[in-house]
Structure 1
Amino acid sequence: MSLQVGNISTLPSRLLLATDLTDLQHTLPVAIDHALQYRAELRLIHVLPDVNSSDTNPSLLVHSDREGVQHHAETILEDAAKKARDAGVQCAWTMRTCHVADTIRQVVQEWGPDHVIIGSHGSQKAQQELLGSVAESIFREVEVPVLAIGPEVQHDGKFFSKDARVLFATALNRESRSVAESVLKFARIHQADLTMLHVLPEVAKAHPSASRVRSYAERMFQEILSGISAQETRPACMIERGHVAETILRVAGQGKFDLILLGAVSGASFRREIVPGTAYGVISRAPCPVLVLKEGTLLGTSGLPAAP
């Protein structure tokens, strides 16, 4: 019987780290700190490629010794779980053989984690294409927030701390309103220094639609901020023009942000301006972790651990 997932209005008690084993150097320290802050249980999931699947990447099938590959994976997983347990985290691991995104979605339904943590490489082109496709499938299909750790992230735990600088990149469509309100709530609870960013498409300033598009974005920001009282700190709002991923990365780097939040909708309406392509493009090069939120899923108090 599957568990109900997606309700993240309380502090999470279960975290799922999805790993291809090569990313543990980047993702495991973050997952351990995340679990310690929440006092949460951690589970590792690794998916072996299905040799009988027509969509399996041939580069993953270079090892003919199936038992040897499985034993090697089990050893790495147990070593990683032991590191987590030695740090004081309740941790177990599981390994399955199937399509990666489908398996992770199934484990989420079965076990009911509050967050999924994934890694990305971003260096080799073949790996980027494969892992980018898997990551974006996870963003689209998994009904819980996904914390993505790219290879450029320097782990110092700052993004879990009070007064963290948080950049929220939003599409500013009508469906994004609920996520924006939850992000504002998170900022108040954690006293985060929040900046909200919207990226306009590349349109010449002289084009008749340019001013209308910007006016719409300004009006949407005004609506989102209308519920903030005079006593509360208002987040900064930025409207930039350019390529979405490149602009988010530029702003994140220049502003020295500790965490990037990306909003995304579910299913067939999944906004193509944000994903596919953009989300993984941001993650693989971001200087800080990226938390991908489903629009319509409430962030509540559990977006990050409670401020100390």
Structure 2
Amino acid sequence: MQRVIMDQMPRQSTKSGLQLVVVATDFSARSDRAVRRAALIARDAGARLVLAHVVDDDQPEHIVAAECDLAENALADAIREHAYLADLSCSSLVMRGTPFDGIVRAAQQHGADLCVIGSHRRAFLKDIFVGTTAERVIRNSSIPVLMANIDPALRYRSGLAPVELSDCSGRALNVARSLGLLPRTRVSILHVYDAAAAGMLSYARVHKGNVDDYLAESRVEAVRDLVRFLEPLDLGDIDYTTVVKEGTAPSTIVDVATEMRPDLVVIGTHGRQGAIRMLLGSVTEEVLRRLRQDIMVVPVRDA
């Protein structure tokens, strides 16, 4: 069951592929960052913006109904009063359910091209097993999700895109470009490779010169692999540079992001679900937990 306030305006024609943005708010300072970032993105793209709030339905009906009314009024006040929402095609949406499920349903049912969320407080042991609301939204969403962490006063000027040379990484780059979110300049495409045999060669007391040769050959091959991966991608007028690092993900990704300090990190993720993913996590989830930049995750569902 849901209560909805939606305008009936048709989608506007945009130069980018971004036509509808859904942003989740719980009226906190963290979600206010997300709303302001979503408003900036929607204004640049000429897209519609939907402000969504989820009311927890695991409580008595009269309390749920009262909270829905309060949320509808608060959203209407925000749309009317906040200057950063002025002149936007903006509407509000109130959903019932658990926060992460309501946000995912709001984005999917309304055909959003992008879902924007804020970072959330952690709940210690609970997060070890199921993740924060933001992580659970990303884990279950079939559309790109942007987690807003930084001050949204400025447009993105620099970006970092870690790639694993898979279809998943290629899709992440193409989607970010088609939505107009990749900065036109200063985009670094990062490939992290693992020269796994180097440690074994050293342990076996192979001559250092031979180990160095192996490391040099591994780097050359990694560079060639990245070039071959990028050739078929349609990155258009994106001015990008490539970065190749030997190491392990996600620690190397975090180190590079800490050094470069991009405004936006774009990463693809496979949509695996179930107990194995919940307990083991993923490179993407580690990046989400450790970086403080805005992060856009593009999901690719496994068969």
Q: Please give the TM-score of this superposition, normalised by the length of structure 2.
A: 0.69
- Equivalence for 2:31: 24
Alignment CA distance shift 1:24-1:234 (3 Å):
closer
Corresponding residue pairs, total = 268
Report the aligned-residue RMSD: 4.2
- Equivalence map 1:6-85=2 (5 Å): 10-22=16-28, 23-51=30-58, 65-66=63-64, 68-82=66-80, 83=82
Q: Deviations over 1:266-302 (max 9, x none)?
A: 3459x969x9464344345534311111348xxxxxx
Q: Does 1:253 align with 2:252?
A: no
- Equivalence for 2:105: 106
Contact 1:136 1:276 in 2 (8 A): no
- Equivalence map 1:1-308=2 (5 Å): 10-22=16-28, 23-51=30-58, 65-66=63-64, 68-82=66-80, 83=82, 87-122=86-121, 125=124, 132-150=131-149, 153-159=150-156, 164-180=157-173, 191-200=184-193, 205-207=198-200, 217-227=222-232, 235-242=241-248, 244=250, 246-267=251-272, 276=281, 278-295=283-300
Q: Secondary structure at the match of 1:46?
A: strand
Note the C-alpha offset of 1:74.
3.3
Amino acid at match of 2:75: L
Contact 2:185 2:238 in 1 (8 A): no
Structure 1 residues not aligned, in runs of 5+: 1-7, 53-60, 297-308
Structure 2 residues not aligned, in runs of 5+: 1-13, 203-213
Q: Deviations over 1:28-51 (max 9, x none)?
A: 211111121112111111112231
Contact 1:181 1:224 in 2 (8 A): no
Alignment CA distance shift 1:167-1:79 (3 Å):
same
Hey, what's the Cα distance between the residues in 2 that align with 1:184 and 1:87?
A: 26
Contact 1:199 1:241 in 2 (8 A): yes
Hey, what's the Cα distance between the residues in 2 that align with 1:214 and 1:165?
A: 25
Hey, what's the Cα distance between the residues in 1 that align with 2:178 and 2:90?
A: 30
Note the C-alpha offset of 1:226.
3.7
Alignment CA distance shift 1:202-1:88 (3 Å):
farther
Amino acid at match of 2:243: C
Contact 1:149 1:283 in 2 (8 A): no
Alignment CA distance shift 1:179-1:284 (3 Å):
closer
Hey, what's the Cα distance between the residues in 2 that align with 1:71 and 1:129?
A: 34
Amino acid at match of 1:28: V
Hey, what's the Cα distance between the residues in 2 that align with 1:186 and 1:35?
A: 10
Hey, what's the Cα distance between the residues in 2 that align with 1:232 and 1:119?
A: 27
Hey, what's the Cα distance between the residues in 2 that align with 1:232 and 1:90?
A: 28
Alignment CA distance shift 1:78-1:130 (3 Å):
farther
Amino acid at match of 1:236: T
Hey, what's the Cα distance between the residues in 2 that align with 1:67 and 1:139?
A: 28
Amino acid at match of 1:173: S
Kindly report structure 1 stretches of 4+ aligned residues shifted beyond 4 Å: 64-68, 126-131, 180-187, 200-204, 208-217, 231-234
Q: Please give the TM-score of this superposition, normalised by the length of structure 1.
A: 0.68
Contact 1:122 1:128 in 2 (8 A): no
Q: Secondary structure at the match of 1:95?
A: strand
Hey, what's the Cα distance between the residues in 1 that align with 2:93 and 2:178?
A: 35
Higher relative contact order (CA 8 A, sep 6+): 1
Alignment CA distance shift 1:137-1:25 (3 Å):
closer
Hey, what's the Cα distance between the residues in 2 that align with 1:208 and 1:184?
A: 42
Note the C-alpha offset of 1:87.
1.9
Q: Deviations over 1:44-71 (max 9, x none)?
A: 111122317xxxxxxxx9xx95455444
Alignment CA distance shift 1:171-1:13 (3 Å):
same
Q: Secondary structure at the match of 2:268?
A: strand
Hey, what's the Cα distance between the residues in 2 that align with 1:268 and 1:222?
A: 32
Note the C-alpha offset of 1:85.
7.7
Hey, what's the Cα distance between the residues in 1 that align with 2:292 and 2:239?
A: 26
